[in-house]
Copies of this chain bind each other. A is one copy, B any other.
Amino acid sequence: MQKVLRELTVDLGERSYPIVIGQGLLGAFDLTPWVVGSQVMIVTNDTVAPLYLENAKACFPGKTVDVVVLPDGEKYKDWQTLNLIFDALLEKRHTRKTTIAALGGGVVGDMAGFAAATYQRGVPFIQIPTTLLSQVDSSVGGKTGINHPLGKNMVGAFHQPQAVLIDADTLGTLPPREVSAGLAEVIKYGLIRDEPFLGWLEQNMDALLSLDATALGEAIHRSCQCKADVVAQDEKEGGLRAILNLGHTFGHAIETFAGYGNWLHGEAVGTGMMMAADLSVREGNLTPEDRARAVNLIGRASLPSMAPEGMTSEDFMALMAVDKKNVDGALRLVLLRALGDAYVTAEASVDNLQATLQAFIR
């Protein structure tokens, strides 16, 4: 039965949009108020399609719904796979009044969103995220894109969806490893902006890992609210929004080193946040006790606590040098002044950075 648990708005003026969080929404919730024309193209992957495609189609009564099914996995987040979406849109004669709907995790959302940003110079799209990570993070905020062999998410666009529909029931089919990966981003919001939420997470981590619906609803809502607040203040990452990248500079280096898809994005971010906390202590901001609290919580979410086998500090330095946050060659990192208080800096000491890298390589 359809049950809307929470609803919130990402406030971006004329580009504002709702996030609807609930249970039993797929197959029941009517998304047609957010569809401009008569055509809908659902973009999904071969893991999600057998589970949720038919229910997703039912959210667009009276529309012409076409489907493109991509191979599942971060390693397919490339131009070649993106082009399958363009092929389908053109073969089915979708016009610039079409609406693209992303049904799946972060990879599907990023690719479908980028296709929407660039098909005929931009068409509307709707996010229907089915993984915890995409529900709490990537489906909100309008970042879209694909990977380049030399760096993650290097080609993309800002393109806000018309609406985000989150059905927490989809988490019932999610592998535990992906639940943990999603929790990394949930914990991130506590670390960067919301110390009380960290306390809540410490109390509810077991409920979250066992997929308790009430706990998940609360965690998703609080995460989306935090992200929406930050995005509303800084849509295109001129400043504040960069704090959402806590752990991501280290994390992207890990993902690239490991080969896309071998480490999940959230897993790499989990380790990356431990590294950021560690560097924050060395920089004289965070207390060792707070670092321990952060590391423990991330560990309780079953996230890895060391860099991949064989990855050296030289690997980190080389891979971090292409991070999008860098300006004119200077490495920029998100660090913590305290739990719940993040900042961006290009001034971290090279010695401290090296010490942190040494502490996390094997």
A interface residues (Cβ-Cβ under 8 A, vs B): 37-39, 79, 83, 86-87, 90-91, 93, 95-97, 117-122, 143-145, 148, 150-151, 153-158, 236, 321-322, 324, 326-329
Q: How far is the CB of A245 from chain B (nearest CB, A)?
A: 13
Contact B91 A150 (CB under 8 A): yes
Q: How far is the CB of A63 from chain B (nearest CB, A)?
A: 11
The residue of chain B having its C-beta at the shortest distance from the C-beta of A158 within the complex is B121
Q: How far is the CB of A41 from chain B (nearest CB, A)?
A: 14
Q: How far is the CB of A158 from chain B (nearest CB, A)?
A: 6
Interface residue from B86, B87, B93, B96 paired with A321 (Cβ < 8 Å): B93
Interface residue from B153, B156, B158, B324 paired with A95 (Cβ < 8 Å): B324
Cα-based distance from A97 to B120 in the complex (angstroms):
27
Residues of B within 8 A of A120 (CB): 154, 156, 324
Residues of B within 8 A of A322 (CB): 90, 93
Cα-based distance from A122 to B120 in the complex (angstroms):
17
Residues of B within 8 A of A118 (CB): 118, 145, 155-157
Contact A157 B95 (CB under 8 A): no
Residues of B within 8 A of A324 (CB): 95-96, 120-121
Contact A328 B38 (CB under 8 A): yes
Residues of B within 8 A of A96 (CB): 324, 327
